[in-house]
Each structure stands twice: as C-alpha cells, then as structure tokens.
Copies of this chain bind each other. A is one copy, B any other.
Amino acid sequence: MFSKACQYGIRSVIYIWKQSLNNNKVGAKEIAEHVDAPEPFTAKILQELVRKKVIGSMKGPTGGFYVDKAHEKFTLKDLVVAIDGPGLFEGCSLGLNQCSETNPCPLHTEVKVVRTHILHMLTAKSLKQLAEEVESGETVLARFI
C-alpha cells in the first residue's frame, strides 16, 4: 500500500509530532533510531517533507526537525501524496489510460469504493492526533520506545 520511503516518512513524522508535543526538536539520527529506519535515507525523506511544508527544520546546534501550529492541519494523506504521489487516489488501478466513468475498467466502480475508505483512513485524523494517540499509549510506534 505504501512504499518503504512512505512508511519511514509516516513513522518519522509521527515521532517528530510526539516530540514536538513536548517542545523538543529532533535530529535525523535520533528519529531514525527511534523509528528503526535507515538514517541517511530517512534524512532524504525528511528533506522532501520540509520542502513540501509538512514539517519544519532548523539548522545548527539545537536545530532539528519540528512541527508547530503551522503544521497542525496536515494529515497522512498530505504526507502520502508528498512521498508516493497521488497514485493511490487517482488514475486507473489497472493502468489503463482510457479508463473513465463512461468507459470503466473491470475494477472501476469497486476501486472507487475502496478509495473512499482509504481517503477516509488518511484524512480522518491529523498527524498531530495520531501522535497524541501514541503519546497516550493508545497506539504504538516502532519497538516500544
């Protein structure tokens, strides 16, 4: 469903949110360790998410990645689109470019239903809310950190 890059990205951003709830900026190394992802690759992904404004970053000592009020509106969908592109939500699932409402592929109507549910899953909660659920112990990120 999600590429590895996207999985690392999701895990990382939830971790960043969790730390930012306690007003801590976090470095790429710490993030990668805590979400169990390869550090340089994770750093690249975070770079991209900064470019797409899903998270913020600061260089220098005491710098790192962070989120604040400006990022509260973002959901998993924004993150997924930023990394994997819109393919999960748009285009023919069978790769037919002629596929359309009037010319539907064999999966067309069924895929619409599934996409509705995927969209709901990825937009019902903000990334901040997901981090709060980890903070409260309701859900768990990575290996019991």
Q: Which residues of A contact B (CB under 8 A)?
A: 1-2, 4, 7-8, 10-11, 14, 36, 76, 87-88, 93-96, 98-99, 103-108, 110-111, 113-114, 117-118, 121, 124, 130, 133-134, 139-144
CA separation between A69 and B114, bound complex, in Å? 30
**A141 close to B93 (CB less than 8 A):** no
Given known contacts A14-B106, A98-B140, A98-B143, what 20 new A-B pairs fall within 8 Å (CB)?
A1-B88, A2-B94, A7-B93, A7-B95, A10-B94, A10-B106, A11-B94, A11-B95, A76-B107, A96-B140, A98-B142, A104-B139, A104-B140, A105-B139, A106-B141, A111-B121, A113-B121, A114-B114, A114-B118, A117-B117
Q: Please give the count of copies of this chain that the complex contains.
A: 2
With both beta carbons as reference points, the residue of chain B lying nearest to A4 in the complex is identified as B95
Bound Cα distance A118, B2 (Å)? 15
Docked-complex contact A7 and B94, CB < 8 angstroms: yes
Cα A51 to Cα B63 in complex, Å, equals 55
* Cβ-defined contact, A117 with B124, below 8 A: no
CB pair A141–B105 under 8 Å, yes or no, is yes
15 pairs from A and B in contact (CB 8 Å cutoff): A7-B94, A10-B94, A11-B95, A14-B106, A36-B96, A96-B141, A98-B140, A103-B140, A105-B140, A106-B130, A106-B141, A110-B121, A111-B121, A113-B121, A117-B117
